[in-house]
Amino acid sequence: MTINTMAKGGWQREQMICFRMMEKMIVAMQDPDMGMKLRNQRLLITVIPHAMTGHDIIIWLIHKYSVCEEEALHLGGMLVKYGYIYPLKEPRSLVLQPDESPYRFQTPYFWTSTRWPASELDYAIYLAKKNIRKQGELMEYEKERYSLLHKKINHTWDFVVMQAREQLRASKQRRKADRIVLECQEQAYWLINRPPPGVHNMLDVGLERQNNFNLRATLNSDFYKNEIEVYRRALGRNRVKSSICLEGVPVPTRLRVERWSFSFMELLNDAMGRQEFMLYLEKEFSAENLYFWQACEEIRHGESSKIVEKVEEVYKNFLAPGAARWVNIDSKTMDKTLEGIKQPHRFVLDDAQMHIYFLMKKDSYPRYLKSDLYKNMLAKAIVPQETKKSVFPFMRRQRHSSPSPAQAVAQVTEEEGRHKGAG
Amino acid sequence: MCDQTFMAATFGPCDSCGKASPLMNIYIKSEAINYCSFCVEMMACQQLQKGETLQSLKKESDSLKKKLEEERGKLNDVELHQVAEKVEVLSSLSIKTRRVLKGHGNKVLCVDWCKDKRRLVSSSQDGKAIVWDAFTLNKEHGVTLPCTWVMACAYAPSGCAVACGGLDNKCSVVPLSLDKNENLAAKKKSVAMHTNYVSGCTFTNSDMQLLTSSGDGTCALWDVESGQLLQSFHGHTADVLSLDLAPSETGNTFVSGGCDMKANVWDMRSGQNIQSFESHESDINCVRYYPSGDAFASASDDATCRFYDLRADREVAVYQKDSVIFGASSVDFSLSGRLLFAGYNDYTINVWDVLKGTRVSILFGHENRVSRVRVSPDGTALCSASWDNTLRIWA
């Protein structure tokens, strides 16, 4: 074969990566200790060495990568489709059969990545060889391509034919088994690099992407100055410790979030609900109400010995004039409470607490239920498995169409038009 | 460059390159500089300051980069999967193909859901964009574009228009009309103009603005009505392949990923690159925000998907497996953000547990590469677009 002197273009970067990964896998499969057990296969009357069955491949993949049979079959199938393993029995069908069908590893010489891209010259020589070896062995599509090539590279046609003859002569001197193997290998290579019509092209990578290497020219001072500025800015950023930002509240269930809308008490009784409500109040700058309510609860349900000091705290933080978290209570209640604090007991703050409770219930609570914070919480909430199936629309066959959003808009504009016309 | 003859008053080592040569005595801000003529030329062309060379700038840039990595590492006191240990294990998923949408004549490259949770728009290499009703499999609209490889398509928030773009270097907005006979392509309006293919597009919170990413290395924000460029975003050094808008009412940041292996977060108002992440080993094909908006995931040709936290300012998880060796082309989160659906070039979709980092499930069915996966707005279904000319709805 002629040596391909064309350098591998940068745009095949994407393919190269998965080729490298597949090759690593293939090398692992051929490892003398942990690799596959190869044996001799009988093909008609010749014995081919170093072969394995499809079944063996799948078992090896299952063990090595701890995957299920379906995935192993799929993975092995990809290795065959890309030509790293080729079938001996039906060489034209690059499919992995999970049975006793024999397969062999492709020689690295014929790996797609080794000689990319496959050259027209090599293809012409291959087709010429086939043609000379047995007249009529070429398939229809191969005949068409052969004549196309004949027109395209006519100037080197003598070389093509000469090379083909030489290679055929050399192969005649090999043992039959080797010859068959080489033919299979070569055929597998061309089945991938020049797929028959109708078979999808494994090497199709879609659109060419510009490569970083093309930009070497523009790695000038402006580029580096920009980079330096970006890095400087990035260094100045405030970063949060992983333990804090990854903590995240465990996601509640939908039912739980919905209960918060049943009554204000439900919301306050659920720790998560209360926390969420607090977040909302912080945004509204009225969080002191909830803090006050919580502090009152602590006094009501807390240790008797701590009541006096706790009431002191509450007075300092919430009731004293100029307090940091001053709560807005009506003057009558405030006076009564301040009087009562002089003789602190468990229920001295009850009136004030009640006042604030109703304030939140009437004002902040309904607004919270309408807020994005609550709606997002509802949307994020998990719906447990059991309740799902009946809700999922795609489980049922839907036959009737729904009005398109565009229709709704059209109707409105139509009506508006009519109004305008009438008015 | 013409030959200059000048009187060389001094001869000696150049201040910049150190070689002994005739020196040009020049003054920069009344400071005497003795450079050889070559270095003067270089300085003038490259707009370098005194003492700067390309190498010194590169060195500075590299050392800042290293310092940034160190800073990021300092606050890394716990790993995501460690935090996730106390989260309960997911029960096994049972996801199957529920619908197969056939109708495109060539590879389907992109898909987007409508807010009504049942319609979607898909675009293909054959130059067509089709609007489907995913429940009934009805094709409601079809637009033919004058180019092949329509790589980007998006549904407008109102549901009344779609945007699509690709090899024509433009992104056009097509209002969806109800008249079946009307040729939608006639009403098509070119909004975005790039100098290379358009790889991704999305409407912002309204029908009025469109955000696009392009193979020319930039992203841009456009006004749909006038077609005016409102803001452009420069910073990528290679094709930008994907973008995603942050999910928030105020919505003014977005993330983009490209062939330079970087994922950048941008401020839409100022056009500045706020944060940058470079940990992938190959092209980033897709970026997608986590539902809370504090993190995002990326899919790359290096066969991994990665999860980045914006507040911690670093990569917090890598989703990879020995048996997954083909590039990931697209990712999307489930509604709660617990699951990450990723489409791969080996025709499969892998479902990852975002918190624990393990693979939960693998979906087979497509007969060629999966080019895009999108979860429906209510989280009840997943749509995948593939090079096998079909789309599949999974639930």
List, as own/partner pairs, every contact residues A308-314 make where C-beta atoms lie below 8 angstroms and the sequence separation is at least 24, other chains included.
A308/A344, A311/A341, A311/A344, A311/A348, A311/A349, A312/A344, A314/A349
Residue A135 has pLDDT above 60, yes or no: yes
**Residue B312 and residue A65: Cβ atoms within 8 Å?**
no
Residue whose entry in the numeric block shows the structure tokens 């912080």 = A282
CA dihedral B58, B64, B66, B69 (to 10 degrees): -140
Distance CA B207, CA B162 (A): 9
**Residue A227 and residue B61: Cβ atoms within 8 Å?**
yes
Q: Considering only CA atoms, which of A333, A369, A338 is closest in space to residue A353?
A: A333
At A359, list the tokens. 């304030």
pLDDT tens figures, A261-306: 888 998 888 878 888 898 899 888 888 999 999 999 888 888 888 8
The phi-psi region of residue A206 (left if phi > 0; otherwise alpha if psi is between -120 and 50; otherwise beta) is left
Report how far apart, in Å, the C-alpha atoms of B102 and of each of B31, B256, B374, B395 are: 73, 31, 17, 18
Residue A216 has pLDDT above 50, yes or no: no
Percent pLDDT > 90 in chain A is 28
At A247, list the tokens. 């903590």
Distance CA A220, CA B47 (A): 10
Q: Considering only CA atoms, which of A98, A92, A106 is closest in space to residue A74?
A: A98
**Minimum CA–CA partner of A250 in chain B:** B87
ipTM for this model: 0.82
**Residue A239 and residue B238: Cβ atoms within 8 Å?**
no
Contacts of A369 (CB under 8 A, 6+ apart): A260, A261
**Minimum CA–CA partner of B217 in chain A:** A210
pLDDT tens figures, B273-327: 989 999 999 999 999 999 888 899 999 999 999 999 988 888 999 999 999 999 9
Residue range B95-394 forms a domain whose CATH class is mainly beta
Q: Which DSSP symbol is given to A329?
A: -
Q: How far is CA B124 from the centre of its chain?
A: 19
Q: What is the pTM of this model?
A: 0.75
Tell me if B189 sits within 8 A of B172, measured CB to CB.
yes
Residue B68 has pLDDT above 70, yes or no: yes
Q: Considering only CA atoms, which of A291, A348, A356 is closest in space to residue A330?
A: A356
Number of cross-chain residue pairs from A and B with Cβ atoms under 8 Å apart: 217
Distance CA B211, CA B244 (A): 9
Q: Between A119 and B370, whose confidence is greater?
A: B370
Using CB atoms, pick whichever of B57, B76, B196 lies closest to residue A224: B57
Instruction: Break chain B into its structural domains and give their ranges.
Output: 2-74, 95-394
- Determine the distance in angstroms separating the CA of A400 from the nearest CA of chain B, rounded to an integer: 7
Contacts of A354 (CB under 8 A, 6+ apart): none
- Determine the distance in angstroms separating the CA of A234 from the nearest CA of chain B, rounded to an integer: 6
